[in-house]
Chain A
Amino acid sequence: MRAPSTLATFAALVLTGGLAAPLRAQEPARADSVAAVAPQRRPRPFFAALEGLVINVFVNRFDAWVRDARDLDGVAWPRVTPRTWSRNLSLAWTWDTDAFVTNMFSHPYHGSMYFNAGRANGLDFWESVPLAFLGSLTWEYFGETYQPSLNDLYNTGFGGIVLGEVYHRLGALVRDNGRRGAGRVLRELAAFPLDPVGSLDRLLYGGFTRVGPNAPDRHPGTLGLVVQAGGRVAVDSGAGGNTMSSSFLVDLAYGDPFRQRYTTPFDVFRVRLQVSPDGGGVNVLRVWGRLWALDFTPKHESPRQILTVNQKTEYLSSPAYKFGGQSVEVGLVSGFVAARGVDVRTELFAEGLMMGAVDARNTGIPGSERTYDFGPGAGVVASASLLVRGTPVLSARWHWAYLHSVSGSSADHYTKFASVEAVLPVTPTVGVGAYAGWYQRRSAYRGQLGEATRFPEFRLFLTWQPNRIPASDESPW
């Protein structure tokens, strides 16, 4: 599947709409609320499915008539006809040859629109899941001349669920049904890139201007936001030298697993977005939200142990390496109060990689934009953070992943990511920090010599934390 014209929109969204809300005074959330973020109304599944089809028709016609989109071979892929539909239906599934950014970054965003067609029409999280796949399926068969590709179905479907729910909740956070006038309009507009389908739905049905109460669980209760800006040094595998660039990072913590019992999927989620304008664009997009959790310990006890199931989408792209995938994690989130205002939090997860992608020397499809393999795999993620009054001053993360290639080269890839990040607070909201990361990959090819590579990365930055998650012994509000 080719890239719908969503990249620029996506790049803008977190830096505009996503950041607009956290500075606002926090409202208490109803801890036991199971209501959807959107105002409650009768679910309309067929209308939601229809909106998914309308999205496909719109994107296809936009690409055909406005962009006159063509691939590297000059094929006008949006120019679909009944003949291409028939061929796609009669031929089996295949793998596409699109670039990493298209498959692992753009498609999840595209999928989020299908998912949010469900959320905007009153369906809950689980009820909206099939719509992400239905939208992707119909696009694959009827939206382009290419044969349907399995990697797109995975990335659009599963990635769309994660991003869709996150954007849906952030969109609801940005919007405020209680406001009027220019402030109201600006908020509605800021939410548009996050949740375009939801915004259009509100525009069509009057929600754009109607004044009324917000959904009771509109605000997660606690919201942490950290922005980093600085310089980055990474090893470039192609040129063999170092790449220096400016780098910006946003960490968003929506909800706190230690303050709120599990209510609904993604009642707690995390987003890390790193952009290096002159160093490969988006370097990191890691988004995960909890699908389910079971708290083993009372709320005010220390230490706390919470069994958690997460769904995650990950996109890592640097000059030296690329890694991404859709996964589900099962593990333990733990935390204890080390001293007054000082928390230690750890996470240990086993990861099932439903569809991952990794680049290596012999990977991909020769003669195409595909320079990486697709495949399922497994992994382990371990992390630990030391927080002083809600500010993460020292964090370490380790991620090991195995990927068995089913498209591209005949290979098994083993990757390791290790990183340490330290922040020295200068004022309650401003600090200076440093990051050191280490990526290591070993690839075993069938019938060929294996390969091992290591790529370090360093960052120095200023950090600004306008909103923080309170320490365990602090009142959240």
Chain B
Amino acid sequence: MVRLTTSIAAARRAALAAGLLGALLAGPAAAQERARKGFWLDGGTGLGRLRVRCTTCTGVGTAHGTTVTFTLGLSLSPKVVLGLEGQLWTSWERGPREHVRSLTVVAQWYPLHGRRFFLRGGTGIVEGPVASSGTDGSPASAKGTGVGLTLGVGYDIPLGSHVGLAVQAASHVAALGDLSLPGNVHLDDTIAYVTRLSAALVLR
């Protein structure tokens, strides 16, 4: 895996800009609205960093890329919503083909009175080809399938009665198992995790 010195600061700036834009666009009329009520969906994009670790690896492989997320959900109560989240992370770096796809059942909790700040977490299935550094420098990637756990925080910004914006930071930890690369290289007990900063449009 190609190691880049690029900082994730670019991702942070993008998410911050999206959040500020949303805050500016949010009118006073929408101030008390909940962004997610009844059935809702959100879709968005962001920047993400993949880290890959295995028991036979000597280091942690890192790659940067973009994420696309889509979630369909319903409200259980004013404070708790449930959803099904699909996420695709794709590497933008040169080197072996890497992407991580996941389908996760998520719960989202609004602990504060304003119903804007939320915690999101869930578990589901994950698959994708990833590579790791420190085995033999092999540029290849191998596909694994397993289970993933996502944990994150976010902020809903209502823009209107049926539209909102959400900014989110989340980590998706995926257990992909043993992977085999060409040349009899094995990545044992591989864990890949994607940390993302993203902005999404919320419709309800």
The stretch of B38-46, B73-81, B90-98 in contact with A is B73-81
| Cross-chain contact A154 with B149 (CB below 8 angstroms) | yes
| Cross-chain contact B177 with A126 (CB below 8 angstroms) | no
Instruction: Tell me the smallest distance from the CB of B12 to a CB of chain A, in Å.
Output: 17
Instruction: Tell me the smallest distance from the CB of B174 to a CB of chain A, in Å.
Output: 9
- Give Cα A446–Cα B146 distance, bound, in whole angstroms: 16
Q: How big is chain B's contact interface, by range?
A: 20 to 34
- Give Cα A376–Cα B145 distance, bound, in whole angstroms: 10
List the A residue with the shortest CB-CB distance to B190: A406
User: B-facing mask of A402-413, CB < 8 A → 1, else 0?
Assistant: 001111101000
* 28 pairs of residues in contact across A and B, judged by CB atoms under 8 Å: A46-B111, A91-B60, A94-B53, A95-B189, A126-B79, A127-B79, A127-B80, A127-B111, A129-B107, A129-B121, A130-B109, A130-B111, A130-B121, A133-B151, A150-B173, A150-B191, A154-B123, A158-B123, A365-B55, A375-B146, A405-B178, A406-B146, A406-B147, A406-B176, A406-B177, A406-B190, A407-B175, A410-B178
List the A residue with the shortest CB-CB distance to B176: A406
- Give Cα A405–Cα B60 distance, bound, in whole angstroms: 22
Known: A406-B175, A406-B176, A410-B178. 13 other contacts (CB 8 A): A91-B60, A92-B53, A95-B55, A95-B189, A127-B109, A129-B107, A133-B121, A150-B149, A158-B123, A376-B146, A405-B177, A406-B189, A406-B190
- Known contacts A92-B60, A92-B191; is-contact A130 B119 (Cβ 8 Å): yes
Instruction: Tell me the smallest distance from the CB of A370 to a CB of chain B, in Å.
Output: 11
Does residue A225 face the partner (Cβ distance < 8 Å to B)?
no
B interface, over-half SS: strand
Does residue A355 face the partner (Cβ distance < 8 Å to B)?
yes
- Give Cα A175–Cα B29 distance, bound, in whole angstroms: 48
List the B residue with the shortest CB-CB distance to A48: B111
| Cross-chain contact B177 with A407 (CB below 8 angstroms) | yes
List the A residue with the shortest CB-CB distance to B60: A92
List the B residue with the shortest CB-CB distance to A92: B53
Chain B residues positioned under 8 Å from A154 (CB to CB): 123, 149
Interface set of B (CB-CB < 8 Å, partner A): 51-53, 55, 60, 76-77, 79-80, 107, 109, 111-112, 119, 121, 123, 125, 144-147, 149, 151, 173, 175-178, 189-191, 193
Interface residues of A in 320-347 (CB under 8 A from B): none
Does residue A462 face the partner (Cβ distance < 8 Å to B)?
no
- Known contacts A127-B80, A133-B151; is-contact A153 B146 (Cβ 8 Å): no
Chain A residues positioned under 8 Å from B119 (CB to CB): 130
Chain A residues positioned under 8 Å from B111 (CB to CB): 45-46, 127, 130
| Cross-chain contact B125 with A376 (CB below 8 angstroms) | yes
Which of B51, B77, B146 sits near A404, CB closer than 8 Å? B146
Interface residues of A in 381-434 (CB under 8 A from B): 404-408, 410
